Amino acid sequence: MAEYQNIFPGRHCAFVLHAHLVFVTKYRHTVFTDVHLKRMEEIMRAMCADFECELIEFNGENKHVHLLVNFPPKIALSKLVNSLKSVSSRRLRQEYPELVRQYRRAQRLWSGSYFAGSVGGAPLSIIRQYIEQQNVHSSPQVRALLRITSPPGSRTLLRKA
């Protein structure tokens, strides 16, 4: 398995958690220019810093934005998303009043939904293969014990020897 870069220490854990977030404007209205996107990146970087997160990458177009966020396990991703969307909407409306007419029908900047995908260092197939190749349960005694203690009808992860 590939070595992880930048593992962050916590009080009782070490973590590398990344999420790919996509926010879409309400009704997919064409709203943003390069000036808006640049200011939105600054706002979202500051919000991530307040949440002890790191905005690694930001990019967008006139109807949506993409974020790559590194976040600690104590942060609920839904709360981070809620704050990012609400604060960016409020601040952009205050600083750029012309945006209000772009979404006057919706009375809001962002769609109520969003995309959040977990991002890791390796594809799932590689991680599955790595886990399968571990020698923790390789002895016949441990395999037999796991089969005995597994509840009836449950699938065991052990292959037949």
Per residue of the chain (161 residues), what is the pLDDT tens digit? 345 567 778 778 888 888 999 999 988 888 899 999 999 999 999 999 999 999 999 999 989 999 999 999 999 999 999 999 999 999 998 999 888 776 656 678 899 999 998 887 667 677 667 656 665 545 555 455 445 544 555 444 444 43
DSSP E strand boundaries for the chain: 8-9, 14-15, 18-25, 54-60, 64-70, 110-119
User: Is 67 within 8 Å of 58 (Cβ atoms)?
Assistant: yes
Classify 101 as helix, strand or coil.
helix
Give this prediction's pTM.
0.74
Place of tokens 């398995």: 1
Alpha-carbon gap, residue 111 to 141, rounded angstroms: 55
